[in-house]
Amino acid sequence: MGGSEASRIRKRLRFLLVNAFSLSERAAYRPRPRSGPKEEQLYNYAEVAPVLEDVDWELHPGAPATHGDWPVELREEFAITGVNRLPIVREACASGRYDAVVLLGGGDPGFWEAREIGHRHGVPVTACAHAQMHIAGMLGARFSVIDISEVHNMRMADLVRLYGMTERCASIRNLDHPLPRPAAAGRNTLLGEQEKAARGEASSMLEAAVAESVAAIEEDGAEVLILGCSAAYWLQGPLQRRLAALGWDVPVLEGYRCAIEMAKTLVNLRLDVSGLAFPHDPPKRFRRRKRV
Amino acid sequence: MGGSEASRIRKRLRFLLVNAFSLSERAAYRPRPRSGPKEEQLYNYAEVAPVLEDVDWELHPGAPATHGDWPVELREEFAITGVNRLPIVREACASGRYDAVVLLGGGDPGFWEAREIGHRHGVPVTACAHAQMHIAGMLGARFSVIDISEVHNMRMADLVRLYGMTERCASIRNLDHPLPRPAAAGRNTLLGEQEKAARGEASSMLEAAVAESVAAIEEDGAEVLILGCSAAYWLQGPLQRRLAALGWDVPVLEGYRCAIEMAKTLVNLRLDVSGLAFPHDPPKRFRRRKRV
Amino acid sequence: MGGSEASRIRKRLRFLLVNAFSLSERAAYRPRPRSGPKEEQLYNYAEVAPVLEDVDWELHPGAPATHGDWPVELREEFAITGVNRLPIVREACASGRYDAVVLLGGGDPGFWEAREIGHRHGVPVTACAHAQMHIAGMLGARFSVIDISEVHNMRMADLVRLYGMTERCASIRNLDHPLPRPAAAGRNTLLGEQEKAARGEASSMLEAAVAESVAAIEEDGAEVLILGCSAAYWLQGPLQRRLAALGWDVPVLEGYRCAIEMAKTLVNLRLDVSGLAFPHDPPKRFRRRKRV
Amino acid sequence: MGGSEASRIRKRLRFLLVNAFSLSERAAYRPRPRSGPKEEQLYNYAEVAPVLEDVDWELHPGAPATHGDWPVELREEFAITGVNRLPIVREACASGRYDAVVLLGGGDPGFWEAREIGHRHGVPVTACAHAQMHIAGMLGARFSVIDISEVHNMRMADLVRLYGMTERCASIRNLDHPLPRPAAAGRNTLLGEQEKAARGEASSMLEAAVAESVAAIEEDGAEVLILGCSAAYWLQGPLQRRLAALGWDVPVLEGYRCAIEMAKTLVNLRLDVSGLAFPHDPPKRFRRRKRV
Amino acid sequence: MGGSEASRIRKRLRFLLVNAFSLSERAAYRPRPRSGPKEEQLYNYAEVAPVLEDVDWELHPGAPATHGDWPVELREEFAITGVNRLPIVREACASGRYDAVVLLGGGDPGFWEAREIGHRHGVPVTACAHAQMHIAGMLGARFSVIDISEVHNMRMADLVRLYGMTERCASIRNLDHPLPRPAAAGRNTLLGEQEKAARGEASSMLEAAVAESVAAIEEDGAEVLILGCSAAYWLQGPLQRRLAALGWDVPVLEGYRCAIEMAKTLVNLRLDVSGLAFPHDPPKRFRRRKRV
Amino acid sequence: MGGSEASRIRKRLRFLLVNAFSLSERAAYRPRPRSGPKEEQLYNYAEVAPVLEDVDWELHPGAPATHGDWPVELREEFAITGVNRLPIVREACASGRYDAVVLLGGGDPGFWEAREIGHRHGVPVTACAHAQMHIAGMLGARFSVIDISEVHNMRMADLVRLYGMTERCASIRNLDHPLPRPAAAGRNTLLGEQEKAARGEASSMLEAAVAESVAAIEEDGAEVLILGCSAAYWLQGPLQRRLAALGWDVPVLEGYRCAIEMAKTLVNLRLDVSGLAFPHDPPKRFRRRKRV
């Protein structure tokens, strides 16, 4: 609501979607193509398409990975990946070409810093875990995060704390289907699980998601379910249907659509973030005291 | 995200906006006309118009008031008004004519019950205080409510508790400019304050809003400001500008735009509310245990 | 402690007990007779009688139900019933005939508004869930609510939040024995369970209460048990005895006695409610800031 | 509600009131006489008398002080005094002569241990700070403690934590009018303040109480005021009246009447304390897990 | 950091370790010898020795028990024992012979009061439960207390509250292996369990510790384990090894080493406790308001 | 306590201290020399020396800054600096040459990720804000952070959340004396303040620190004070003395000594961090559920 000119002309929103990182051509596993049509570089495009219908969007494939040539799970890797993404955000915000920047990727690498950058330019930046948590709050008292692995869980736990969501987070549930990365050698990963489920075959990952979701509902008090890792966002539809078939009337969210819709809300309301939470440097005015 | 048909046709959203109540022709004070163009029956239409551009909307003037022929401030009056509004919600949801119902009015009369009704039909219902609190959460750690009077403050306090927002609410600040109602006889009300401010004259209500907002920022830890009563929503623009002029980089929200945008988000994500928080009766499946 | 005249004459307290609602003669199910001796219109009079011995009490059968001709479980029904009860409270408080008003019924319909009314007249108003929660707090760190059905549970959850009891509520446990109402057609209701238990026959409701109470103690950390619905208050004695027989040294409360005793406490201390929490309109003096 | 025999005979309750400690004949300051009629050994008997009208009560003067021959303020002194009082409680509970034991004294010395003893015998034990905090909770969302001195404040803070009242305690306010004890030599004590106020003279203690109460209301969010030290309980009436004269509609409690009324409630409901919170040794049954 | 002389001479620290109490020669059970070399009077000296290498330490056997001639578990016994220990603390602090006083014993009898005494002399006092909780906080988000018996559990719960650790305490887990005391007659006590485990025989206490630790990790969210009773501190090593063998990478603490190391930290930083939390009497300066 | 060999030989601890970053020779402002004796590269060596007496320590000057050639304040800069420091930590932990790594710098850049790395090697890593917060907790109920600037404050706020310290943090207080960096051009920075204070001249930074500390004590409930930025650690002694002169008996901490002492504690107890909070990848065993 930053401004009061009532007569602005309605136009299509322009968003930049930025992937978390991009692996090399030589990577043993590449979750998404690095080139080709933008739609193919997005996970689960068919599901996401409806919320992009009224948006003019571009996709950035993400900065080349420097933590290793595999997907990200450790805190260390998230930190490195996050910093790598900041120049993309800086450039996008400074360009004046976008109404909003949507950071893809489940663990929100670089998001907190990107909001600081965005605010300098008045450009809202949204991210997948953060948006899911806020939209979950609109629907029920507590959410659980259905997530892929032990170390990724702890990244999600850090985000819950950083975002001030400890009261709203019922639990983080571990499917123990990590990303295909060296540390997971010899273990059951999430590789191929989406395809199995799509073919109607049994997917151990989907079964684990059902079991952990039911436990989150029955034991932890979850009233909404969100997904931790973008490589698990395909679960949204199948998990929602399986839970419904069991009689559970519970929403399952995923990050892309939530981050895109939250970006629309912020743009439409002419907001990005509070300048008290993400101050300019120097600020025009400062608070002597902050509560945390 | 209730459903996965990716190919739905984009169409304009259809919303019903419902005023909190309508006073009689004989009322000493009538905050809004009860007839005429729908735009005239909305507070601050010029400001709200942009977010309604992509919506086909209708306005219901609200159920005739039975608590008295004056605006609502007491808990007792909110309860009565809320119950009066439920048949309108029931009918709108059952009609199949609306994608969402937006409840106007600052104290959200009947909202909690209306969500229960909406969920039976899969129709999202949003309300002004609730939507403001959630959007405020996207922007900063804590919000303060800038509100009109002592008794209205306590309604807002009840909502903060009911909505699970105690950790996020920095404070409720009292402008002591009540609605023009019998209890306010002889006191300074909000009557005429918007007009004064619009004419560029000094408005004691706007001055109080500035003073209390600064106190909320400096003393209470507010990082976002929301407005308590819909008859004070006109403050959004002027207060935002005054705070900016003082150097305070803080968002000021109001309820109409927030409730409308939140309705869009829910419709676009095919969500209304969690069926675990607002269960069907009987539910297909139940939880043995609830945490609160 | 509103006053210091030490020499007042001790006299019997005069209470008005008000049932939550009254169904018609044609109702398929009528939990309590609407006429006859007042003692017969109270659930479990034999159990309650001792705390009424030193009270001159009258019973109001409750306002005729307008939500439907069946007992109340939904939030919508609670709101309607609550508003219907307010004129009775208004009249009782204004009459000067009662030292206190005791609102019967497990989900406290109309209580929050009734306290506001009561304070105008200096008359304490108490209610069953609220009083149980406060007396439970005197006995142990956390209580669980043993309650009848999914939708009724959510009403109790709303009350826990509204009353500021989230830290003290270990859980709400669902017996899945709803009231006999159209939504429960074909399901196991609480109808006849009290009679079975009284005859020494197996009662599935009592068995569920034992199982959920033990789970509340062992899993949820409950140190006190309270009952959710007045139609389940008969469980107090049998459940207490069953738990004792299992070795569990835990108090089980019910609402009537707690609400009556809390009313005595307030009258004896010459208190009703804080005027800061339930202010007069207009208040003599107001707080610029409220914390929630 | 431990028992269901409906036909018990109503009889007058028998309470033992136990002072916190008794000083020697040689003490420089003796707050209460150690002999003479029991009424004279109670602070502010005229105010307390009404709630004792329906009680057969005895007074124990308290165990002789061993911490020093002066009143108690330090944690060390409270611990010693509390232990000294336990044999009195043990004997009273074992005697079968009392329905309840009421521990007098503002800082509740020995109370937590006394409840453990009482539970062995099924005898409720109440204390002044604890009872005030619980009754305050019935009246408003948060209480402040109006208290006499820096070190006494910290005892009150310990009690707030131990009793699980941190969410409900708005603040502890220091009047800086300590008890007349060696550490207070040369300082302004509470000695003579009650008498000054009674004579209509200015009392610096009462003035401080008014100032701190107003600050507690305006700055800390207190909705109820309680008194910290029994030697300050005389403030209840005068402070209540002064605040009312300023327009503040806020209840002021003191400990004697609250502890006595809470004892009545527990006796009437046949409760003392939860055996899960204060277990027998050995317990019949135990919980594997406790939450705190 | 109380002082800024940068040039002080490094010397060995001088600590007094004080046992919780000492039983008579006639006691049916004596957990530790009352005489002989100080090393023999300490539980598990071999494990503790490394952290004492750089300390000149003395051992006080504890004040003679007055609560009974058996070990302590009840709140009542802890209170009595705590008061008995205070003169030892007073004398040690006043003597100027010690840099710190380390209170041995799992339930910290007398610790809170001893800190007050220590602060008068600028001597840090540490205790076993308190130090464990703080060091646990350095390692993970939540700790569980692995503890011996139902009544001892409740003492630990009181300490968790008093120390402001409720957010950090995942649970208290009961091994149901009480101390050998009259109340435990005929029950399984901890007597002989350490010896069995040392001989490589099955110890029901160790097995229970493993089971409850795993439950604390899996169900309660514990990330660190601490031990409740000093007579169970022998579990530290065996339990740590057993959990490691099960694959659980979780630290297990015990109280002696934690209390000794915390004492070193405080001495090295020239700190004892905040004078705002444990004020002098009279204080040089006081706070009008305390938050709890 | 990772291991039980009682007979290890006491030897001097070997620590690596790592500065947060190092600026170039061309930097307009260089807070510390990049070469010369290690003692000269440490802030306030004279104050820190005593706690390093029993340590064999080396100093790493920090990775060359890549965020800009000025000191760090923004979230963005902290993220970049933190990632730059990780290779130093990796190498140090892998080298086997250090018992612990101590990360210097007030805002703990890279600390959370460094703990993850350290745990792989069993090497404790400590950092200045984190250690201060934990040691503050040993001393009083709440700490305030006395910190240099608006944007630096928000980094501290993020750390408070991430470290789970929201309940313990009374406030963050802004001295408005930022580091000398381009954004501070034309403003009052901290440059030269230490020297002024050392010369006995008035230092506006020290005066602000006194004023904000007193406000933190009186208004926010702080019982301990910690310092936010390492370039402000010189305040520890002067601020402590000034507050003492005002009669405030409150500890003031700084980060270097706290981080060093915490490292000693962890090494002596053979701990680094919980493997449940910072799991190995892959973990030997995982938790299905995490609470946050």
Which tokens in the block code for residue C72?
Answer: 């109340």
User: What CATH fold (topology level) applies to the domain F13-128+256-268?
Assistant: Rossmann fold (3.40.50)
Which tokens in the block code for residue B151?
Answer: 């008794």
Q: Choose from C42, C276, C278, C289 for mutation: most chain D CBs within 10 A.
A: C276
pLDDT tens by residue, B190-215: 999 999 999 999 999 999 999 999 99
Cβ separation F215–A292 shorter than 8 A: no
Instruction: Name subunits touching A (3+ CB pairs < 8 A).
Output: B, F
Q: What class does CATH assign to B139-254? A: alpha beta
The domain segmentation of chain B, as residue ranges, is: 13-129+256-268, 139-254
Q: What is the pTM of this model?
A: 0.97
Cβ separation D161–E277 shorter than 8 A: no
Taking the CA of residue C161 and the nearest CA in chain B, the distance in Å comes to 5
pLDDT tens by residue, C260-273: 999 999 999 999 99
For residue D269, how far is the Cα from the chain centroid?
21
Residue of F nearest to E218 (CA): F287
Taking chain A (292 residues) in runs of 10, the rounded mean pLDDT of each run is: 48 95 92 83 96 97 97 98 98 98 98 98 98 98 98 98 98 98 96 97 98 98 98 98 98 98 98 98 97 95
Cβ separation C271–D8 shorter than 8 A: no
Chains E and B touch (3+ CB pairs under 8 A): no
Cβ separation C154–B278 shorter than 8 A: yes
- Which residues does chain D have within 8 Å of residue C140's beta carbon, measured at their own beta carbons? 273-274, 276-277
One fold for both F13-128+256-268 and F130-254?
Answer: yes
Phi, psi dihedrals of residue F11, rounded to the nearest 5°: -140, 165
> Which of F174, F184, F292 lies nearest to residue A157, judging by beta carbons?
F292
E strand or H helix at C121, and its extent?
A: helix C111-121
CB C233 within 8 A of CB C23: no
Taking the CA of residue C176 and the nearest CA in chain B, the distance in Å comes to 8
Local structure of residue C55 (DSSP, 8 states): E
CB-based contacts of A175, cutoff 8 Å, min separation 6: A146, A147, A148, A149, A190, A205, A208, A209, A212, A232
Q: Shortest CA distance to B51 belongs to which of B64, B42, B60, B41?
A: B42
Mean pLDDT of chain F: 95
pLDDT tens by residue, D121-179: 999 999 999 999 999 999 999 999 999 999 999 999 999 999 999 999 999 999 999 99
Mean pLDDT of chain E: 95
Taking the CA of residue E144 and the nearest CA in chain D, the distance in Å comes to 10
Cβ separation F164–A161 shorter than 8 A: yes
CATH-assigned architecture of domain E130-254 = 3-Layer(aba) Sandwich (3.40)
Which tokens in the block code for residue E209?
Answer: 């510790």
CB C150 within 8 A of CB C129: no
Give the Cα separation of C113 and B182 in Å (integer): 19
- Which residues does chain B have within 8 Å of residue A44's beta carbon, measured at their own beta carbons? none
Inter-CA distances, A97 with A52, A57, A91, A114, A128, Å: 17, 11, 10, 16, 22
Q: What class does CATH assign to B13-129+256-268? A: alpha beta
Cβ separation F218–E2 shorter than 8 A: no
Which tokens in the block code for residue A21?
Answer: 């990182």
- Which residues does chain B have within 8 Å of residue C166's beta carbon, measured at their own beta carbons? 292
Q: Choose from A217, A288, A291 for mutation: most chain F CBs within 10 A.
A: A288
Cβ separation B86–C79 shorter than 8 A: yes
Residues in chain B predicted with pLDDT less than 70, given as ranges, are 1-10
* Residue C247: HSE in the Cβ half-sphere, 13 Å Cα cutoff: 9
Give the Cα separation of C19 and A288 in Å (integer): 54
Taking the CA of residue D275 and the nearest CA in chain E, the distance in Å comes to 10
Q: Choose from C112, C233, C265 for mutation: most chain D CBs within 10 A.
A: C265
Q: What is the pLDDT of residue D1?
A: 67
Q: If you average pLDDT over residues E136-153, what whole number do you get? A: 98
Taking the CA of residue F65 and the nearest CA in chain A, the distance in Å comes to 14
Chains A and F: how many Cβ contacts under 8 Å? 152
Taking the CA of residue F219 and the nearest CA in chain E, the distance in Å comes to 8
pLDDT tens by residue, C135-181: 999 999 999 999 999 999 999 999 999 999 999 999 999 999 999 99
- Which residues does chain F have within 8 Å of residue E223's beta carbon, measured at their own beta carbons? 274, 276-277
Give the Cα separation of B104 and B72 in Å (integer): 13
Residues in chain F predicted with pLDDT less than 70, given as ranges, are 1-10
- Which residues does chain C have within 8 Å of residue D164's beta carbon, measured at their own beta carbons? 141, 167-168
> Which of A73, A110, A165 lies nearest to residue F281, judging by beta carbons?
A73
> Which of B86, B150, B291 lies nearest to residue C286, judging by beta carbons?
B150
Q: What is the pLDDT of residue C11?
A: 78
Taking the CA of residue E292 and the nearest CA in chain D, the distance in Å comes to 6
The answer to whether domain E13-127+256-268 has CATH 3.40.50.1860 is yes
> Is pLDDT at E34 greater than 80 in this prediction?
no
- Which residues does chain A have within 8 Å of residue F273's beta carbon, measured at their own beta carbons? none
CATH-assigned architecture of domain A140-254 = 3-Layer(aba) Sandwich (3.40)
Alpha-carbon dihedral sign for residues A46, A50, A56, A62: negative
* Residue E121: HSE in the Cβ half-sphere, 13 Å Cα cutoff: 20
- Helices D111-121 and E75-95: crossing angle in degrees, nearest 10, is 160
Q: What is the pLDDT of residue D10?
A: 54
Q: What is the pLDDT of residue C113?
A: 98
Q: If you average pLDDT over residues C1-15, what whole number do you get? A: 63
> Which of A79, A216, A279 lies nearest to residue F154, judging by beta carbons?
A279
Residue of E nearest to F218 (CA): E287
Q: Tell me what percent of the residues of chain F surpass a pLDDT of 70.
A: 97
Cβ separation C279–B154 shorter than 8 A: yes
Q: Shortest CA distance to E17 belongs to which of E259, E217, E285?
A: E259
Q: If you average pLDDT over residues E107-124, what whole number do you get? A: 98
Inter-CA distances, A151 with B43, E92, F150, F285, Å: 51, 49, 33, 12
- Which residues does chain D have within 8 Å of residue C257's beta carbon, measured at their own beta carbons? 1, 268-269
> Is pLDDT at C2 greater than 60 in this prediction?
no
- Which residues does chain F have within 8 Å of residue E269's beta carbon, measured at their own beta carbons? 51, 135, 253, 257-258, 261
Give the Cα separation of A273 and B137 in Å (integer): 10
**B28: exposed, middle or buried (Cβ count in 10 Å: 0-12, 13-18, 19+):** exposed
- Which residues does chain B have within 8 Å of residue C278's beta carbon, measured at their own beta carbons? 75, 154
Q: Is E169 helix (H, G, I), strand (E, B) or coil?
A: strand
The answer to whether domain D130-255 has CATH 3.40.50.2030 is no
For residue E150, how far is the Cα from the chain centroid?
18
Mean pLDDT of chain A: 95
ipTM of the complex: 0.96
- Which residues does chain B have within 8 Å of residue A257's beta carbon, measured at their own beta carbons? 1, 268-269
Q: Choose from B72, B189, B289, B291 for mutation: most chain C CBs within 10 A.
A: B289
Which tokens in the block code for residue D13?
Answer: 């309750």
Cβ separation D281–E161 shorter than 8 A: no
- Which residues does chain C have within 8 Å of residue D100's beta carbon, measured at their own beta carbons? none
Residue of D nearest to C254 (CA): D1
pLDDT tens by residue, C120-145: 999 999 999 999 999 999 999 999 99
